[in-house]
Every structure is written in structure tokens, then in C-alpha cells.
Amino acid sequence: MDASAFRDVCIQCVTVVRDVPLPFLIGFFISTAIGLVVFGYILIFLLAPIPRPPFPEEKTYQTISEDGSVTPSKPLPCWYDRLRAGRPDQKERDTLEDAELFMSVVVPAYNEEDRLSGMLEETVNYLERAHETLASQKVNGVDESNQIKQDGTKATRKRKSNVRGHPTSPSTTTLKGWEVIIVSDGSTDQTIETALAFARDHQLSLHPKGHAGPWTQKSGQGVHIPPGTIRVVKLKQNRGKGGAVTHGMRHVRGQYVVFADADGASNFEDLGKLVHACQRIEDSKLRGIAVGSRAHLVGSDAVVKRSKLRNFLMHAFHITIRLLTPPRTARIKDTQCGFKLFSRASLPYIIPHMHSEGWIFDVEMLMLAEFANIPVVEVPLGDGLGTGDVEGRVGVRSLQEEECMI
């Protein structure tokens, strides 16, 4: 078809449309728009992954008891199940019971026996120093180590709560204590045994042997931890990183929850930055999310020295995310950093609605947060690229801390 013939066809189409009554045209466009929306919804419904329900044995955990033995499988506390059941005293579906401790760490692990010990060493060193357990505290002159149960739960003082069941003031009711939930995502190696051996050694010995991690050059001496602070969950079938993280976050007891990669890609010394940033942007419901970010390192030598293909794929992914996600999510420069902190009050708006179980789950979490109008802040972190260069890492951590409000 030549240009003149095409022009004649266009003129005929315009003539036909001009002769159609206006109400009919309006009705046609409205019905077409509704049809497209319905078609899109059906398409999403058919294509969206449906997470499998957990097996009964996946809702249990093992830990190390006071005598050093591995405990029998115990039921995990599950705020998610209680929320779905809808207790009679719940006035709102998004109300959670009070936290039992300050920080919960969820570690998804698939065949990580070689790297897990070093990551755990750096994790518990920071947690015990920053959010010490009740075993190392004395309240009103009474040693509360005796109040730590064998399974690791702790007696906590009752905090005043508002009508939604959340603490009235995070600054005046800050809890102590921490837990690490290791979710073995169908591992076929010794990941579970490695985690339990680490917990046993650090519980029974007052001066346990340390393990060199990605951010420490020397193993040094480990830190003593109380029984039950490290819990191991075994998934019968591999679900993917997103599925393992979501499963672990259904069972947390902390006022704040962070998930971190088992390879120690992020320095746990940066966790304080996330907590501080999250507390500063929490809304009236105490909802807030702090997203670790390495976007400021894109021009650094560590990134530039990567292969051209890897850098091309990284930039292509970022462009795709910006084009396909809603505005606030699109403004997040690093959606894939495996170091994200959630306040407890934000969990009911995100975890029950998760579908993605693969590597893209981070984006779904951020989109759900945006739809629920949960404040999100992006916090620059150290490189976490495994360079082994202590001076370089210190230099990165000394960069100006510019936090991008989302």
C-alpha cells in the first residue's frame, strides 16, 4: 500500500467516525476501557504465582537447649496465623500482639554451610553488643537470665499500648533482646548442622571460637549467646529466596525485622543506620521500612571492574523497574539489596499479600508498601562486595550519609 492509498483509508475512517453519534462513541470507549481492565485483572490472576501453603513440619523450629542438645521440633509462634484466624478481641485485622524482643533477623539459606558461620559470627557480635539479651541485663537488681526459657523466649515487662495494640512510644518502650531465624530453603548440604553447631559452641562456651566473616579478616574470639536465640527452620521443599524470607517473617517476635543474605553481603554494623532511619520516618501507626542501598557505589572501582555484561544487565534491570513500577517504588535506586528493615506494624500490610517467591520478591514488597502508604527510606550502606579491603570498606562507610526519602 502506497502513501496515497493509506491516506485515503485514514480519511475514510475519520469520515465514518465523524458520522457516529457522540453517545455511542463515549459508550464504546468506556466499554473498551472496562474490558481492558477486566482482561488485565484476569491475566494477572492467571499468571500470578500462588505460594504453596507450608507443610506442618515447616511451622516448627529447632534450637540448642541449655545442656547443648538439639531440642525436638517445637511449634513456631505465628502472628500470621493468628491474624488470619481473627481473634475475637481484635478490633482491626492489622493489629498484632506486642513484640517480645527488639530485633528479629531472618536469614534465608540454601546450601550455605561454607559461608554461614562467618556471617552468623558478625551478626551475633553486633546484635549482642547493640541489643543485648536479657541474660546480660539486670532489672531492678534481679538477674533476668533465670527468666529466659529453654526455648529462648523471655519474660518481658508489660508495655502500655494504644488502641491498635502497638507500643505508645518507640523511644520510651524500646525492648532489648534479639533472635536469628535461619530458614533452610530445602538445603541438601550441612546448612542446618552448621547453624546448630555454631549455636551450641557459642552457648556452651563463655569464650567461644570466632569465625572469620566477609567483613572480618581474623576469626578472633566469639561472643557468648543465651539458649534459643538462634532458631533453625527447615523447609521441606525449596521455595526460593522470597518464599524463605516470607516464611521466616511470619514467625518473628521482634519490634523490628530485618532480612539478610547468608553470605554476609551486607555489613551488620550498618543495621543501626536502618533502625535510626526507620524510626525517624514511622507514621502514626508505627509503620516504616528502611531499605539498604548500594546505589551510590555504581561508579566505584568495585563495580566498574565487573564484566560489561553484568553491568549492562544491572542497568537494564533498573530501567525496567522504573518503567513498570508505581512512582515511589520506581524512585528507589537499589531494590535488590538483601538488607531491608521492617517495623512490626508494617508486616500485616505486606507479608499476607506476597506472591513472588523468587529473586524479584523485593520489588513486590516495596510495591505493597507503596499501595498501603507505608513510609519507606533508602539508606546508603557500605560496599558489601567481598573485596577484603578493610581500608576501602572504611572509606565507603565514611561517605556522607544521604538518605533518600521515598
Strands of 230-235's sheet, edge to edge?
230-235, 178-185, 101-109, 254-260, 339-343, 289-293, 376-380, 404-405
Task: Establish if 395 belongs to a structural domain.
Answer: yes
Decide if pLDDT at 95 tops 50.
Answer: yes
The mean predicted confidence, pLDDT, of the chain is 79
Q: Are residues 196 and 83 in the same domain?
A: yes
Decide if pLDDT at 394 tops 80.
Answer: no
- Whichever domain contains 176, its CATH number is 3.90.550.10
Three-state SS at 333: coil
DSSP conformation letters of 65-122? -TTSPBPPPEEPP-HHHHHHHT-TT-SSTT--PPPSEEEEEEEEESS-TTTHHHHHHH
Give the pLDDT of residue 252. 97
Q: Are residues 17 and 121 in the same domain?
A: no
Task: Establish if 320 belongs to a structural domain.
Answer: yes
Q: What is the pLDDT of residues 44-88, one digit of tens each?
A: 666 677 888 999 999 999 999 999 999 999 999 999 988 888 754
Task: Establish if 57 belongs to a structural domain.
Answer: no
- The single-letter DSSP state of residue 403 is -
Q: Are residues 33 and 176 in the same domain?
A: no
Cα distance between residue 221 and residue 213, in whole Å: 12
Give the pLDDT of residue 399. 34
Q: Are residues 41 and 72 in the same domain?
A: no
Decide if pLDDT at 343 tops 50.
Answer: yes
Identity at 121, one-letter amino acid code:
E
Q: Are residues 15 and 100 in the same domain?
A: no
Task: Establish if 338 belongs to a structural domain.
Answer: yes
Q: Are residues 16 and 148 in the same domain?
A: no
Cα distance between residue 371 and residue 112, in whole Å: 35
Task: Establish if 56 belongs to a structural domain.
Answer: no
Q: Are residues 318 and 176 in the same domain?
A: yes
Q: What is the pLDDT of residues 299-337, one digit of tens each?
A: 555 554 556 777 777 778 778 877 878 889 888 888 888
Residue 88 Cα distances to 338, 344, 352, angstroms: 37, 21, 19
Task: Establish if 55 belongs to a structural domain.
Answer: no
Q: Are residues 35 and 74 in the same domain?
A: no
Q: What is the pLDDT of residues 57-67, one digit of tens each?
A: 999 999 999 99
Give the pLDDT of residue 1. 57
Task: Choose between 245 and 162: higher pLDDT.
Answer: 245
Cα distance between residue 161 and residue 252, in whole Å: 19
With beta carbons less than 8 A apart as the criterion, state whether 108 and 258 touch.
no
Give the pLDDT of residue 146. 40
- Residue-range definition of the domain harbouring residue 110: 62-405
Q: Are residues 184 and 36 in the same domain?
A: no
In the block, cell 530458614 appears at 183
In the block, cell 488485565 appears at 40
Provide the domain count of the chain.
2
Residue 131 Cα distances to 101, 125, 281, 337, angstroms: 9, 10, 21, 23
- To the nearest 10 degrees (0 to 180), the angle between helices 116-130 and 271-281 is 50
Cα distance between residue 151 and residue 52, in whole Å: 28
Decide if pLDDT at 395 tops 60.
Answer: no
Name, of 90-99, 158-167, 257-266, the range with top average pLDDT.
257-266
The alpha-carbon radius of gyration of the chain (Å, integer) is 25
Please tell me the total number of residues recorded for the chain in this structure. Answer: 406
pTM equals: 0.76
Q: Are residues 11 and 141 in the same domain?
A: no
Q: Are residues 16 and 154 in the same domain?
A: no
**273 class by beta-carbon count within 10 Å (0-12 exposed, 13-18 middle, 19+ buried):** buried
Cα distance between residue 248 and residue 101, in whole Å: 16
Q: Are residues 32 and 127 in the same domain?
A: no
